[in-house]
């Protein structure tokens, strides 16, 4: 990298970012010409930034259930509540998110009350408006009793006391209900009722999948249950259409905006496999939701964890067993906290498989297995083999065949355990090295992407904090450049003897 003008790199980098995403490659070629070193330097920064803009941070942006792991939300001053938006009279604020505000509003013609989602006053970047329009497009594909209905989408004057601006809005069905888990607790639902409820949620998710839409942010607070017991899925703002041209349908998200909840994300989602996500990622989220509905807890405890550690846990550590998370409030057979049937454990375990090829292929398959259990039929997740049938028979005739089945299970389990130990012994060293190196690279990539996102929202201290999580052994020139971008007062940035970006005057400071 010696000979590359640092200021030129920054200048070209900004020019490339100012261009639409589908034209960035062309702008990069035009601005760099035959200067290969300059092009490579800028390209590395652009790729790191795009991971924050539309890749890892689009997926892993990082709010746990009730506990912030590492909020990347851009904080902007709030304006007063408007009294009117387009043709809608504002009644009250229903909720606020990273992108917009949801109001209860009244429309005169036709006469109805709606949930009106408006981009937050004072915000409205082109990327944010694209994402907002994407949510309207996604909802326009979907017509199901389990999905909030959209009435219209448009743009209108947002009028307050002494101020007026034009912002996009979406008018949706107003759902008067409770979040899924809160509904279960407030109504004291038995286990059977909770299973029936999650199957209905899965029906709505399947409808979205059949219309080419992956939700990508399923969680209890995005599922309201109305007074009639009908669950309704909300917030398709981060959903993705699954047409063949992914580049034209992937949600483009402002860096740093909260668009997901880490606790409910699949391993492939937190890893940043944005382009390859499919319906099985939502199936994983359904598994987490069912786990929480039945136990009151989450399969992974991520409270207080650094971002990189939380990602590693979801990717590598097995979730808690359902039975180990029962809270034991009642203990009756119908209590949600009673000892769980093995079939329920199997259904949840299959939905939470880290290898998506071992999960249910669709939300419909998940719902079907839940209903098979409710109807006391053999579930697909455990094929009706001879051993499975014997186990079922033994459950009904414990005295007659209990000893025989126990012996058979012990023998089979022992053989499987011995084989697994032998395989692990031969591969353990190589896998350990590979996993450690991969984890360090992932942590480095995550830290740079998060730092760039923080810089985009002018949070220099936050960016420095993320950079501090990057493994020192992997820090190269781009780390130092981003460090300088986070703290413009650092003027002693220079090129090291072998081309590395370096900071400070001592050997210990060379990156």
Query: How do residues 207-221 score in pLDDT, each as one tens digit?
Result: 999 988 888 889 999
Tell me the C-alpha distance between 277 and 297, whole Å: 26
Q: How many CB atoms lie within 10 A of CB 378?
A: 16
Q: What is the mean pLDDT of residues 339-362?
A: 91
In this structure, what token pair is assigned to residue 246?
A: 């992914």
pTM for the whole structure: 0.58
Residue 217 makes CB contacts below 8 A (sequence gap 6+) with 235, 237, 238, 239, 259, 260, 261, 264, 285
- For residue 498, which phi and psi values (nearest 5 degrees)? -105, 15
- The more confident residue out of 415 and 156 is 156
Residue 122's pLDDT band (boundaries 50, 70, 90)? low
Model confidence at 123: pLDDT above 70: no
DSSP 8-state class, residue 149: P
Model confidence at 71: pLDDT above 80: no
First to last CA, the chain: 14
391 near 383, Cβ under 8 Å?
no
175 alpha carbon, distance to own chain's centre: 23
Highest mean pLDDT among 236-245, 254-263, 416-425: 416-425
Residue 500 makes CB contacts below 8 A (sequence gap 6+) with 1, 476, 477, 480, 510, 511
Q: What is the mean pLDDT of residues 90-119?
A: 88
Q: What is the mean pLDDT of residues 194-210?
A: 97
Tell me the C-alpha distance between 14 and 8, whole Å: 10
Q: Which residues are catalytic?
A: 217
**Equal CATH topology for 84-173 and 178-382:** no
Highest mean pLDDT among 71-80, 182-191, 434-443: 182-191
Burial class of residue 58 (count of CB atoms within 10 Å of its CB; 0-12, 13-18, 19+) = buried
Evaluate whether the domain defined by 84-173 bears CATH number 3.30.70.1290.
Answer: no
Model confidence at 507: pLDDT above 50: no
Residue 355's pLDDT band (boundaries 50, 70, 90)? very high
| Domain segments of the chain as ranges | 1-54, 84-173, 178-382, 383-511
Residue 369's alpha-carbon distances to 218, 287, 322, 334, in angstroms, are: 20, 12, 17, 19
Model confidence at 1: pLDDT above 50: no
**Lowest-confidence segment of 276-285, 302-311, 360-369, 491-500 by average pLDDT:** 491-500
Model confidence at 313: pLDDT above 80: yes
Q: Where are the beta strands (DSSP E) in 162-292?
A: 163-173, 177-179, 213-214, 223-226, 231-233, 240-241
183 near 177, Cβ under 8 Å?
yes
Query: From the CA atom positions of the chain, what is the Rg in Å?
Result: 26
Q: Counting every residue, how long is the chain?
A: 511
Tell me the C-alpha distance between 108 and 421, whole Å: 70
Query: How do residues 474-496 score in pLDDT, each as one tens digit?
Result: 888 888 888 888 887 654 444 34
pLDDT at residue number 314: 92
Q: Give the largest CA-CA distance in the chain.
A: 83
Tell me the C-alpha distance between 279 and 186, whole Å: 31
Model confidence at 431: pLDDT above 50: yes
Q: Which fold has domain 178-382?
A: Transferase(Phosphotransferase); domain 1 (1.10.510)
- The more confident residue out of 336 and 375 is 375
Tell me the C-alpha distance between 310 and 69, whole Å: 8
Model confidence at 443: pLDDT above 90: no
432 near 440, Cβ under 8 Å?
no
Highest mean pLDDT among 158-172, 177-191, 267-281: 177-191
Nearest residue to 476 via CA among 508, 499, 452: 499
H or E segment to which residue 89 belongs: strand 88-96
Packing angle, helices 398-456 and 460-468, rounded to 10 = 130
Residue 498's pLDDT band (boundaries 50, 70, 90)? very low
Model confidence at 309: pLDDT above 60: yes
pLDDT at residue number 67: 31
Tell me what percent of the residues of the chain surpass a pLDDT of 90.
32
In this structure, what token pair is assigned to residue 341?
A: 């049937």
């Amino acid at each position: 990298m010696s000979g590359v003008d640092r200021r030129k790199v920054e200048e070209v980098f900004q020019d490339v970012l100012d261009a639409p995403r589908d034209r960035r490659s062309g702008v990069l070629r035009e601005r760099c010409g035959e200067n290969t070193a300059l092009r490579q330097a800028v390209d590395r920064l652009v790729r790191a930034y795009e991971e924050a803009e539309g890749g890892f941070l689009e997926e892993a942006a990082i709010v746990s259930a009730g506990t912030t792991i590492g909020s990347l939300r851009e904080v902007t001053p709030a304006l007063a509540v408007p009294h009117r938006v387009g043709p809608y009279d504002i009644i009250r604020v229903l909720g606020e998110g990273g992108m917009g505000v949801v109001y209860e509003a009244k429309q005169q013609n036709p006469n109805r009350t709606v949930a009106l989602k408006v981009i937050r006053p004072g915000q409205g970047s082109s990327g944010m408006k694209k994402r907002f329009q994407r949510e309207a497009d996604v909802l326009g594909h979907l017509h199901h009793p389990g999905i909030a209905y959209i009435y219209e989408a448009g743009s209108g004057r947002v009028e307050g006391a002494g101020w007026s601006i034009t912002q996009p809005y979406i008018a949706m069905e107003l759902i008067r209900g409770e979040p899924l888990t809160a509904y279960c607790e407030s109504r004291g639902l038995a286990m059977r009722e909770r299973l029936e409820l999650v199957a209905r949620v899965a029906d709505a998710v399947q409808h979205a999948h059949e219309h080419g839409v992956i939700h990508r942010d399923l969680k209890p607070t995005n599922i309201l249950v109305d007074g009639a017991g009908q669950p309704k899925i909300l917030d398709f703002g981060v959903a993705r259409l699954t047409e063949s041209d992914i580049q034209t349908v992937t949600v483009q998200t402002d860096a740093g905006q909260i668009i997901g909840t880490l606790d409910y994300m699949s391993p492939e989602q937190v890893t940043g496999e944005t382009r390859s996500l499919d319906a099985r990622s939502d199936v994983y989220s359904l598994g987490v939701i069912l786990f929480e509905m039945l136990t009151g807890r989450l399969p992974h405890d991520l409270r207080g964890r650094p971002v990189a550690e939380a990602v590693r846990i979801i990717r590598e550590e097995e979730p808690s067993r359902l039975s180990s998370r029962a809270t034991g409030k009642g203990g009756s057979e119908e209590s949600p906290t009673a000892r769980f049937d093995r079939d329920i454990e199997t259904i949840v375990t299959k939905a939470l498989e880290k290898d998506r090829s071992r999960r249910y292929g669709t939300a419909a398959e998940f719902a079907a297995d839940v209903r098979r259990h409710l109807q006391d039929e053999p579930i697909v997740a455990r094929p009706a083999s001879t051993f499975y049938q014997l186990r079922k028979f033994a459950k009904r005739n414990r005295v007659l065949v209990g000893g025989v089945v126990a012996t058979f299970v012990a023998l089979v389990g022992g053989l499987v355990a011995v084989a697994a130990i032998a395989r692990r012994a031969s591969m353990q060293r190589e896998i350990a090295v590979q996993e450690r190196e991969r984890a360090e690279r992932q942590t480095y990539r995550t830290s740079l992407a998060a730092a760039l996102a923080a810089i985009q929202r002018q949070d220099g201290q936050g960016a420095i904090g993320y950079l501090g999580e990057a493994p020192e052994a992997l820090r190269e020139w781009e780390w130092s450049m981003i460090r300088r971008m986070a703290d413009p007062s650092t003027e002693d940035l220079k090129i090291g003897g072998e081309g590395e970006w370096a900071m400070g005057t001592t050997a210990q400071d060379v990156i």
